[in-house]
Amino acid sequence: MTDVEKQKQMEQIKQSEDGMRQTVLLIKIGLMVFLTFACCTVFFFLVLRYKGVADTWHLITGALQPIIIGLGLAYLLNPVMKFQERHWLPFLKKKMKSEKSAAKVARGLSIAGAILFLLVILVLLIAAIVPSVVSSVTGLVEALPGNVESLIHMVKSGKLGAYGVTDTISDMLTKLTDQVENWATKDLLPQMQQYLLQITSGVITMVKSILNFIIGIIVVVYVLSIKESLVGQSKKIVYAIFKSKHGNIIIEVFHKADEVFGGFIIGKIIDSAIIGVICYFGCLILHIPDTILVAVIIGVTNVIPVFGPFIGAIPSLLLVVIQSPLHALYLLIFIIVLQQVDGNIIGPKILGDSTGLSAFWVMFSILIGGGLFGFLGMLLGVPVFAMIYYIIRRLVNHSIRKKNLTTVTEAYVEAAGVDEATGAIIYYGEKQKKKRTLKDSGKKDETKKNQ
């Protein structure tokens, strides 16, 4: 084969390779166009058929509710199980010949201990809340006639009676009584059947919730017993789908998510439990009515960052002010002091900087999460937004590094621009000085031309 033939053959190979590259490029472009069109179609379908999609989503989540409850409880109980396992395992290794058997027994005892811990907490909460609620409602019902009678006596014996206020109040009470009787006879009785159906539906829902919780406990046992296998399988799937480089990033992001969610949620629960106990003993010292109920309300609502103290203070104060306005004032002062102690001492010691968010972004995430998903959104809004913030920050810093720029945020506060040649940040003073230098050099050049 001559050199000319070899050159022609090389040119043909090069042309075929170029054709293949163009074909692959066209396929990629077509695939991107198709995926974009498909995503737009799905988006418009979701918008136009929102009710049907929402109903389907509720149906799916309802069917998966035991699994969701089980996974959530398993995540929360995992630290409790690990804590017990660390103490059981050394003890059982000394008593048993096989380390594998000791590990299995330690895991089983730790799971049983974690579930027992959960059940004890629930029983204590129910035992604290239900009797307090019943006694509070009973006390209010019993005290209501006396309070109304005292109000009427106060009006009659005071100066207000001289201006006909007593007659006005009596007329209003008479009209209100007539309206209540009419409502009871005309509206309440015909709607009793509907109310009974709603009550029946509520009872069925409650029974379903109890059954889902019981099934969720069973799911907890299975998940905690094979959690290492589940983690390994998940990572295996990630590396099977993505390249090693991208897989490492995904694993790192999930590890960060576990750190943020675990640190925030578990830390917040511990913090709220401490606040509830302190509130209980403080209310005992101040002789606040319904001490246990008030402490439970303050402790539970304290799980919500920023707005939790205000949410818990409102029903607590209403509950106390009906029985004793003076004690309500004591409770208000005590709650303000307690929340200051929590926000400045207890909370930072337990939570630390688990989210990495400033106070503004914490408030922003709570408002958005609460507006979209209610109580659960207010609780999980902070760690979810912390993860979004973390991912965006990583992407921005990666793009900044590729352009050979600094990733320090403070360096951009007074920045007026970036030098295109060196990548150095130019500040306002330097920029004005540079402009003056260029302007002066331009004047000198113009003077020289005129000369």
pLDDT at 141 over 80: no
Q: What is the pLDDT of residue 194?
A: 63
Tell me: the pLDDT tens digits for 261-290?
888 888 888 888 888 888 888 888 888 887
Q: Give the percent of the chain with pLDDT over 70.
A: 72
Tell me: the pLDDT tens digits for 400-427?
888 788 788 777 777 777 777 776 777 7
Give residues with Cβ within 8 angstroms of 225, minimum separation 6: 107, 108, 111
Range scoring the smallest mean pLDDT among 120-129, 237-246, 277-286, 441-450: 441-450
pLDDT at 92 over 60: yes
Report the range out of 18-27, 52-61, 210-219 with the highest average pLDDT. Answer: 210-219
Q: What is the pLDDT of residue 444?
A: 46
Q: What is the pLDDT of residue 163?
A: 46
Q: Which DSSP category does 426 fall into? A: E
Q: Considering only CA atoms, which of 273, 343, 331 is closest in space to residue 307? A: 343
> Between these two residues, 238 and 172, which has the higher pLDDT value?
238
Asked if residue 302 lies in contact with residue 279, where contact means CB atoms within 8 angstroms, the answer is no
> What letter represents residue 156's amino acid?
K
Range scoring the smallest mean pLDDT among 57-66, 87-96, 138-147: 138-147
List the domain boundaries for the chain.
3-48, 244-382, 409-450
Structure tokens at 28: 């990629």
> In this structure, what are the phi and psi dihedrals at residue 304, rounded to the nearest 5 degrees?
-80, 125
Q: How sure is the predictor about 442, in pLDDT bands with cuts at 50, 70 and 90?
A: very low
pLDDT at 27 over 50: yes
Q: At what angle do helices 192-225 and 99-157 cross, to 10 degrees?
A: 150
Q: Considering only CA atoms, which of 275, 242, 404 is closest in space to residue 350? A: 275
Q: What is the pLDDT of residue 116?
A: 92
Verdict on whether the full-model pTM lies above 0.85: no
Q: What is the pLDDT of residue 165?
A: 54
Please, what is the average pLDDT of the chain? Answer: 76
Q: How far is CA 252 from CA 231, 264, 272, in A?
A: 13, 18, 30
